[in-house]
Amino acid sequence: MSKIKNIIWPQVILFGDSITQFSFQPNGWGSEIANQLARKCDVVNRGLSGYNSRWAKIVLPRLISKDSASSNHIAAVTVFFGANDCALEDKNPQQHIPLQEYSENLKDIVKHLGSVGVSADKVIFITPPPLHEPAWEKECVLKGSALNRLNSVAGQYAQACVQAAGQCGADVLDLWTLMQKDGQDFTGYLSDGLHLSEKGNQFVSQHLWTLLKSRVEELPFILPYWGDVDPKQPESGLLCD
């Protein structure tokens, strides 16, 4: 009997902070993307709550190495940092990352991915969303601190993210701009002023799918449709390439 070949199940990796980590909750943007890609590829959540781009750059080689990238056939990687980097240095020095370093960290992340075989055209940056300061200030006060982020500063980091994507050949989803387009009220996209509400998750999944689709639409449906399996000789369809 010939050796049975393992099935190669491609991956889409979601790399980011808490907005990524929590994206697999019910109606989360990550779970919506995973549902779209069922039977085509695995959507892997590598969200790390509270992390900034400096810490992300340090841990990335432990998450995506040359061996893992080649064996898992990575179709796309989203890189979603900035919401913690943009914390105000005097109010939240532990998470704050200077703007220029943030930009360089993003480009270094793309360089590492390229070094392990994941080309820049497979990378999608996602900017931090806008910040609703009154709502987030309430959260800060509950934790015994002052308001530690500003929407205008989040916008500077979003702009740096867009520029870094252009410089390294990655794609980008500019949430900060899109959620405020034409002066619309963006507060409904946020649950606490910073993190995404159900409406915000839906917004991200819809816009991200537009960018992701071209990278995954040619992926084949893995394993035969059940109606095509010969019930008398199932092996003939289930064990062939």
Report, as residue numbers or ranges, the catalytic residues. Answer: 18, 192, 195
Q: What does the alpha-carbon distance between residue 105 and residue 99 come to, in Å, rounded to a whole number?
A: 10
Residue with tokens 């946020």: 190
Sign for the CA dihedral angle at 217, 223, 229, 230 comes to positive
Query: How many CB atoms are located within 10 Å of the residue 228 CB?
Result: 8
- CB 55, CB 48: distance < 8 Å: yes
Instruction: Go through 146-183 and write b for each residue having 16 or more CB atoms within 10 A of its CB, e for each that does not.
Output: ebbbbbebbbbbbbbbbebbeebebbbbbbbebbbeee
Token digits for 213?
A: 């689709």
- CB 153, CB 241: distance < 8 Å: no
Instruction: Reduce the DSSP state of residue 124 to 3 states and report it.
Output: strand
Of 178, 166, 169, nearest to 204 by C-alpha is 178
- CB 147, CB 136: distance < 8 Å: yes
Instruction: Please state, in angstroms and as integers, the Cα–Cα distance from residue 226 to each residue in 9, 82, 221, following that order.
Output: 18, 44, 12
Q: What does the alpha-carbon distance between residue 50 and residue 84 come to, in Å, rounded to a whole number?
A: 7
